[in-house]
Amino acid sequence: MAGSPVGDSRFILPSPLARELAETYQTPLYVIDERHFRERIRRTRSAAGSVWPGAEISFAAKANSTLAVLSIAVQEGCLIDAASEGELRAALLAGAEPSRCHLHGNNKTSAEIEYAMEVGVGSIVVDNFDELNRIFTLAQSHRCPDLLLRLAPGVDPITHEKISTGQADTKFGFNIVNGAAGRAVRVATGLSLPLVGFHCHVGSQLMDAEAQKSGAEVLARFVVDMWRDQGFVAKALNVGGGLGIRYTDADDPVSIEDYYREVSGAVAGAIREYGFELKLIHEPGRSLVGESGVTLYRIGTVKTVPVTEDLNRTYVCVDGGLADNPRPALYGAKYTVLHIPDRTKQMGEAKEQAVPGMARGEFDTTYTISGRHCETDTLFRDILLPDDVEEGDLVQVLCTGAYNASMASNYNRYPRPAAVLIREDGSHELVQRRETWEEMFAREILPGGRDE
């Protein structure tokens, strides 16, 4: 993709285009590269389909539910995994067929389930016994879509605890070890609900396939157990997502091809001798869109403070932070940050390289990049940048296509950023306006009826 160094799978904005976007749309600014995103989906679908014919890719909308992003995923043949009514409504607005969507979530309300039934979703991933009861009640007056039971396979992945979901001690799904999963199959079939299979997801930002492979194998063995014990024949298996991306040079995720070969192989190995004809579904989000996006910030204050008698720290403060990227605060997430000078400083235009971070050669100062919010709000610690960064310069943060726009808030009453799509022909298009002050306050009412 344009601007990326050889061998780097991440999308990187060339400096001239970064400056143009920042000037046109202001900062902070989310940027998604359409070509990169489409190619990532195509490579993933090819990898999954080559080892399991007919395998489906379901884009996890929670990663980025911007309508433009969902629309591209739909155009590229993805199913859509919606974790709420809001994400489902976004998918439908983006052009998804209801039958190509499924509703997820660990605490669905009756209203959410009823809405999903009314619009005709393809399936609902059921999380608990209370939900089975709600579905049964609603199925008396609505067409019930196919159901998959979400299972907790008892797999504890190597990742941050806040994005681990497959271990036994989890709020998600029916536990296999304590018998809840088998009991859920009996309940669903006993109620004549249209149960078609099972789902699991062990966690996110996985650098290898081991945890997801283990989860998929446990799931496949459960298919065999339910056939033996209850005569239930599963038709579909959703093995979740979780493949990580290269946020920094220290990250080295397994290749897309190896990941899907190993996970699919684990399922095949567990059911091969039984002749089950299973539709296999994968549910990636981050690995599809994460590396396709960057965020642009403009530098404001640069401040050096004492840490100890012999050590100082220099803070580079940018015009965003916790409200547009909460992941560093939530997970200690690390990113790659590249510097884009506000002007060509004593280099001459002809000498400037297209790729930021490459233009000046030596990186010779360590900075802490902080946000503008009333918290410590450390975004990126120990970042190497040129020693002459100053107010007005830009930085771009790589791999922010996932879990940035979708987690943005109005903390400290900052408007949520705009989002821009770099089209396949190189043009750029606004796909999400920067929030206005009027929009921010539109839903609030002063007591006593003074709502002007």
- d(CA 377, CA 138) in angstroms, rounded, equals 45
Does residue 49 carry a pLDDT above 90? Answer: yes
Tokens 């002063």 -> residue: 446
- d(CA 98, CA 360) in angstroms, rounded, equals 51
pLDDT at residue number 331: 87
Task: Assess contact for 10 and 246: CB atoms under 8 A.
Answer: yes
Selecting among 78, 144, 317, 374, the annotated active-site residue is 374
SS3 374: coil
Residues 6+ apart with CB under 8 A from 133: none
Note if 101 is an active site residue: no
Domain 34-289, second-level architecture: Alpha-Beta Barrel (3.20)
Average pLDDT over residues 322-337: 94
Average pLDDT over residues 264-284: 94
Tokens 């979708």 -> residue: 406
- d(CA 217, CA 239) in angstroms, rounded, equals 9
Higher pLDDT, 162 or 64: 64
Task: Assess contact for 66 and 419: CB atoms under 8 A.
Answer: yes
Tokens 């007919």 -> residue: 54
- d(CA 306, CA 74) in angstroms, rounded, equals 52
- d(CA 207, CA 219) in angstroms, rounded, equals 21
Backbone angles phi, psi at 341, to 5 degrees: -60, 150
Burial letters 274-306, b for 16+ CB under 10 A, else e? eebebebbbbbbbbbbbbbbbbbbbbeeeeeee
Higher pLDDT, 267 or 345: 267
pLDDT digits (tens, 9 = 90+) for 378-392: 999 999 999 889 999
* Amino acid letter, 76: E
Q: What percent of the chain has pLDDT over 70?
A: 89
DSSP per position, 287-338: HHHGGGEEEEEEEEEEEEEEEETTEEEEEEEES--TTT--HHHHH-----EE
Average pLDDT over residues 267-287: 94
- Overall fold of domain 291-441: Lyase, Ornithine Decarboxylase; Chain A, domain 1 (2.40.37)
Backbone angles phi, psi at 368, to 5 degrees: -110, 120
Tokens of 426: 């190189």
Looking at residue 161, the DSSP 8-state letter turns out to be G
Does residue 347 carry a pLDDT above 90? Answer: no
Q: First and final CA of the chain: distance in angstroms?
A: 49
Average pLDDT over residues 67-81: 98
- d(CA 272, CA 266) in angstroms, rounded, equals 10
- d(CA 294, CA 7) in angstroms, rounded, equals 18
* H helix intervals, 52-166: 67-75, 85-93, 110-119, 129-139
List the domain boundaries for the chain: 34-289, 291-441
